[in-house]
A = this chain, B = another copy of it.
């Protein structure tokens, strides 16, 4: 697996990963959002914030412990990126 942080922007205070995904159509955005919700439910993690419009989704993953991102949180970031790619989303 490639570095899960690839394409994500690291932010500190608190530690977080941020990434903007863009899609050609709302249908793809919707599919991605639904897949993201299902994936989060499966692993018990939820992004700290998701901000979306018809063709973009901004995702912020924050370290739940406020100190550093856990391996599970980093894996979730990788999973989210893969879900976006499945909808032909661009990660920037």
Chain A residues within CB distance 8 Å of chain B: 26, 30, 33, 37, 46-54
Residues of B near A47 (CB, < 8 A) are 53
How close is A34's CB to chain B, nearest CB, in angstroms? 8
Closest chain-B Cβ to A60's Cβ sits at a distance in Å of 9
Residue contact A51 to B49, C-beta cutoff 8 Å? yes
Q: How far is the CB of A27 from chain B (nearest CB, A)?
A: 10
Nearest B residue (CB) for A46: B54
B53 touches A52 (CB 8 A): no
7 further interface pairs, Cβ-Cβ under 8 Å (given A48-B53, A49-B53): A26-B46, A30-B37, A33-B37, A46-B54, A49-B51, A51-B51, A51-B52
